[in-house]
Amino acid sequence: MDLYERFKTAANEIQQKNPVISSRAFVLSSKIQPFLRFNSEKLTLYSSLSGLEDMGFIGGGFYSDNGVIMVTPPLFEEDSTVDVRLCATGVRILQILEITEVFAFGIGKSLQKNDNGELMFWAKDHINLSAVNPLVGANIDEFGARFPDMSSVYDEDLTSIGKTESEKAGFKVVNGIWAAFDSERKRLDEFSEELIKNSVQYFCDELISESIAAAHGKLKLSLSLLVNPSEDAAEKLIRLFRQLIPESN
């Protein structure tokens, strides 16, 4: 079974167990998920899905409940050898399920060291310094032509809606470009001057792969938000989910 057929088999199993009724979905950082306290019984681990059970997943999965659909990044054993294309498993499943709009939420930090408490900022583009690119390796032709233009990842109309709804939920949304680091490049002090020169305002270490895959699959990446987590921020995120997916109200 090739990788596309594996993704398709997993998506079909999800659809049979819990039919997807929305065209919108969320991609959540694994660091945010614990703050949201969703019903764990509604989370289907990638490792439990038909076609994916032998692919080396140790974490990450698909969540669906009352119209809210979300995926979290897959996790693998450290230093394990896995097909890099699996890093975007959640987005690939969403694409097969005919999701057309994606909202990405991660945890990030400001290079400007703002001390105004709770931060939420919109990433208008990515500078991918060293994060994993899920398009490395053999192309999966069913998902689209190789390498999209990442200079215009976000759908402008949907982004404006997302920003408005975020502000309604009580977040102050700040525009910014953000960069990703792998485990060897997380020391901010070594890179902050270089990044600021390149207009990078924020950094994080997740969701780059998912954004690349969403653009590759021609999904509308309508909003990418990074937040410093807190109990209050988690509650506001849940309200934002409900506003962005009317079926969940």
Q: How far apart are CA 14 and CA 39, in angstroms?
A: 17
> What is the pLDDT averaged over residues 208-233?
82
Spell out the domains of the chain, with CATH numbers in brackets.
Answer: 3-248 (3.40.50.1580)
Q: Residue 36 — φ and ψ, nearest 5°?
A: -85, -20
pLDDT tens, position by position, 99-124: 999 988 887 777 766 555 556 777 77
The structure's pTM equals: 0.83
* 130 compared with 48, residue with greater pLDDT: 48
Percentage above 90 pLDDT, the chain: 22
Helices of type H across 72-155: 89-96
> What is the pLDDT averaged over residues 203-226?
82
Whether residue 62 is predicted with pLDDT greater than 60 in this model: the reply is yes
3-state secondary structure of 203: strand
Tokens of 74: 């897959």
Whether residue 248 is predicted with pLDDT greater than 60 in this model: the reply is no
Contacts 24+ apart (CB under 8 A), 189-193: 191/129, 192/111
Is residue 135 within 8 A of residue 214, CB to CB? The reply is no
Q: How far apart are CA 204 and CA 108, in angstroms?
A: 5
Whether residue 71 is predicted with pLDDT greater than 50 in this model: the reply is yes
> What is the pLDDT averaged over residues 186-203?
68
Q: Which residue's entry shows tokens 């060291």? A: 113
Beta strand pairing call for 220-227 and 120-128: antiparallel
